[in-house]
Amino acid sequence: MILVWLIAVPCIGALLAGISPRGRELRCRGVTIAAFAINLALTLALWIMHPAVLRLAGGGAWFAEFDRAWIPSLGIRFHLALDGLSLVLIALTNFLGLMAAAASWRDITEKVRFFHVNLLWMAAAVIGVFLAVDLFLFYSFWELMLVPLYFLIGIWGHEQRLYAAFKFFIFTQASSLLMLLSLLGLYFIHGRATGVYTFDYGALMGTALSPGTGMWLMLGFFVAFVIKLAAVPLHNWLPDAHTQAPTAGSVILAGLVLKVGAYGLIRFAVPLFPAASAQFAPVAMGMGVASILYGAILAFAQTDIKRLVAYTSVSHMGFVLLGVYAGSTVALQGAVMVMLAHGISTSALFILVGALSERIGTREMGRMGGLWAAAPRMSGSLLVFALASLGLPGFGNFVGEFLVLLGVFRMSAPLAAVAAVSLITAAIYSLWMFQRACHGPNSEGWVIPDLSGIEAAIMAGMISVTVWLGIYPGAVLNVTREALESLRPDITSAVSSKR
C-alpha cells in the first residue's frame, strides 16, 4: 500500500490546497510543503531500508508491488511496482517539488490555490509514471502530466506564456498519440499470438515481433520519449517553455519532465523492442552526440540567461540518450546519475535566475554585471551550480558524464571523443554566464537584496545534495544496480549484437 500512498499523498494535498479558504495563502503553501515533505520522508525511508526490503521480497528487482484488477475485460490492471530506478527518481520528484514550492513562496501571488493544486497534481502524475508497470496505466499517468504543466506555463508564465504553453501542448500531445498507437499495436499483436490480451509490462516484454513491425512500434515509443527528453532535432519546444515558465515550472520541466522521457527509454523502449533498438542504436547515439554539441553551442549564443540555462539541458540530456544506447551497465548507471545531478543543478540555476530577474527586472546578460558585490550569497550559489553544470569533479554531474563516456568508449572511442568535447564547451558557457552576471562593472548601478532566508535554505539543501552525489555516488549506484542489471540482458545483448 505504500506505493499507493506515494501517489495519494500529493493528491490529498492538492485537494486540501484547493479547498483552502480564500485569503489563507499561508495554509495553502503549508499544505503543499507538508505533502512533499511527507512523501520525501517515505521515499528516503524506503531508500535507507532497501537492502532489507529486497531480502524480504526474495532478492528480485521489484521490492514493492501493488496489483489490483482495474478493467479486467480489457486486461488492464492497476499495477504499481518499485525498484531502485523508480525509487531514486521518485526521491528526486519529491525533493524538487519541495524546492519548487518553497521557491514560489513569494513569487506566486495570484490564483495561489490553483497553482499549488497543479504543482501537486503534476507530482502525483510523475510519481505514477515512475511506478506504473501496466502500460495502459503508464499512458494514463503520462497524459495526466500534460494538463497541470500547461496551466503552470500558461497562467503564471511570462510575456509569451500562451505561445509557449500551446507549443508544449502540441509537441507532447502529438508524441503521446504515436506512443498510444504503438502501445495498442503491441497489445493486439501479443493478444493474437497468445490469446491473452494484456497491458502487463512483463508479459509484453516477450512478444515476438517481425523486424519491420518491431521497428515501427519502437519508433512510436522512441519519438514520444525523445520529445520529452528534448533531444535534437525534437527539442524545439523546450527553450520557449523554459523561458516563459515561472520558476516552479522551469524546475518541474528541467528536473522532472525531461527525466520521464529518459525513464521511458530505459524502462520501456529498449527492453520491449531489443532487436529494433539494436538496429536503431547508432541513430539514437548520433542524436545524443548532436544534442550534446548543439545544446552547448546554442547556449553560448544566448543573451537571455534563462534561455542559456534551457539550452544546457539539451546538451546534458544528450549524455542520457548516449548512455541508454551505449550497451553497457556502466553507461546506463551514468545516464541515471546524469538525470539526478542535472535535475538538481539545473533546477537550482533556474531558481537563482528567477530570483535574479525578479530583482532587476531583466534576463538580459548585457545589462548585468558586478552582482558579486551587490549579492554575494546569490553570486556564490550561482558559481557553485555553474561549476556543477560544467562537470567539475566533486559534483554529481562529473560522475554521471564520466561513467557515460567510459561506457561509450568501450563501444566506440571516436564517438566518446566527440562527446567529450562538451567538457570544454560546458566550461565556456558556464563560466561566461557567471562572468557576465557577477563580475565586470555594475554599469546599471544595481542595488538588490541578497538571498532571503528561504532562498538561502533552498540553495543550501541543493548544494548539499549535488555535492553528496559527487562525493558518494555509491549511494545511488548501489540502489539502482539491481534494477539496471535486470534490464541489462535486453539492452546489452541487443546493442552488442550490432557492434
**Which comes out higher in pLDDT, residue 388 or 50?**
388
pTM more than 0.95 = no
Confidence at residue 424, expressed as pLDDT on a 0 to 100 scale: 87
Q: What pLDDT sits at residue 2?
A: 87
* Segment holding 397, helix H or strand E: helix 396-411
According to DSSP, residue 233 is labeled T
Relative orientation angle of helices 305-324 and 396-411, to the nearest 10 degrees? 40
Angstrom distances, CA of residue 82 to CA of 43, 85, 89: 11, 8, 11
Angle at 86 between CA 3 and CA 407, to 5 degrees: 170
Q: What are the pLDDT digits (tens) for 173-196? A: 888 899 999 999 999 999 999 888
Percent of the chain, pLDDT > 90? Answer: 51
Mean pLDDT of 78-100: 93
Share of the chain above pLDDT 70, in %: 95
| pLDDT confidence of residue 332 | 92
107: closest CA among 473, 455, 435, 478? Answer: 455
Residue 60 has pLDDT above 70, yes or no: no
- 10 preceded by a cis bond (ω within 30 of 0): no
- Residue 61 confidence (pLDDT): 66
What is the per-residue burial (b if ≥16 Cβ within 10 Å, else e) of 216-232? bbbbbbbbbbbbbbbbb
User: Mean pLDDT over residues 450-478, rounded?
Assistant: 92
pLDDT bin (cut points 50, 70, 90) of residue 370 is confident
Q: How many CA atoms lie within 13 A of 89 on its CB side?
A: 33
Question: H or E segment at 69?
Answer: strand 64-71
What is the average pLDDT across 127-150? 93
Q: Which residue has the higher pLDDT, 491 or 79?
A: 79
Lowest mean pLDDT among 52-56, 116-120, 126-130, 414-418: 52-56
Mean pLDDT of 467-474: 93
Of 22 and 246, more confident? 246
pLDDT > 50? residue 143: yes
Residue 492, SS3 per DSSP: helix
C-alpha 307/C-alpha 327 separation (Å) is: 33
Contacts of 499 (CB under 8 A, 6+ apart): 327, 411
| 81 beta partners | 65
pLDDT at 446: 77
Q: Cell digits for 292?
A: 550534446
Domain ranges of the chain: 274-499
- What pLDDT was estimated at residue 495? 44
pLDDT over 50 at 491, yes or no: no
Q: Say if residues 153 and 165 touch (Cβ distance below 8 Å).
A: yes
Task: Check residue 493 and give its pLDDT.
Answer: 45
Cα–Cα distance measured from residue 203 to residue 129, given in angstroms and rounded to the nearest whole number: 19
| Look-up of cell digits 546534458 | 316
Residue type, 194: T
pLDDT of residue 494: 45
Digit-coded pLDDT (tens) for 339-348: 999 999 999 9
Q: What is the pLDDT of residue 488?
A: 58
Q: pLDDT by residue (tens digit) across 262-283?
A: 999 999 999 999 889 888 999 9
CA 89/CA 182 separation, integer angstroms:
25
Question: How far is C-alpha 7 from the geometric centre of its chain's CA atoms?
Answer: 18
* Residue-level pLDDT at 398: 93
Confirm if 484 and 332 have CB atoms less than 8 A apart: yes
* Local structure of 9: helix, strand or coil: helix
> Taking residues 234-254, what's their average pLDDT?
89
CB 245 within 8 Å of CB 153: yes
In tens, the pLDDT along 312-340 reads: 999 999 999 999 998 888 899 999 999 99
User: Has residue 371 got a pLDDT over 70?
Assistant: yes
CB 80 within 8 Å of CB 136: no
Q: Which pLDDT value is given to residue 363?
A: 87
Nearest Cα neighbor of 135 from 209, 185, 89 is: 185
Residue closest to 142 by CA, chosen among 21, 228, 25 = 228
Q: Is residue 375 within 8 Å of 360, Cβ to Cβ?
A: no
Number of H helices, E strands in the chain: 23, 2
φ and ψ of 235, to 5 deg? -100, 0
